[in-house]
Amino acid sequence: MSLRAHPWIGFLCIGALCFVVTTVVSEVATDTYYRGTQFWSALSESGRRLVAEPVASAYLSSPFLVLAAICASLVKRGGLTRALILFVAGGFILVAFYFSAHQDVHRYMERRMWTAASLAVGLLPLNTVPVLLICLGLRWLFGRQSETAKA
- pLDDT, tens digit, for every residue of 73-88? 999 888 899 999 999 9
Most confident of 14-18, 30-34, 139-143: 14-18
Q: What is the pLDDT of residue 88?
A: 97
The interaxial angle of helices 54-78 and 7-30, nearest 10 deg, is: 140
Q: Any residues with CB less than 8 A from the CB of 75 and at least 6 apart, and which?
A: 3, 4, 7, 11, 83
Is the predicted pLDDT of residue 151 greater than 70, yes or no? no
pLDDT value at position 147? 58
Residues 6+ apart with CB under 8 A from 140: none
Q: Which of 96, 84, 69 is nearest to 4 (CA)?
A: 84
Q: Within the chain, where are the H helices?
A: 7-30, 39-52, 54-78, 80-110, 114-122, 124-127, 129-150
Residue 67, pLDDT above cutoff 90: yes
Q: What is the pTM of this model?
A: 0.90
pLDDT tens digits, one per residue of 20-40: 999 999 999 998 988 888 999
Smallest CA-to-CA distance from 104 within 120, 92, 128 is with: 120
- Indicate the helix (H) or strand (E) that contains 128: none
Cβ proximity of 47 and 24 under 8 Å? yes
- pLDDT over 90 (residue 143): no
Domain boundaries along the sequence of the chain: 7-150
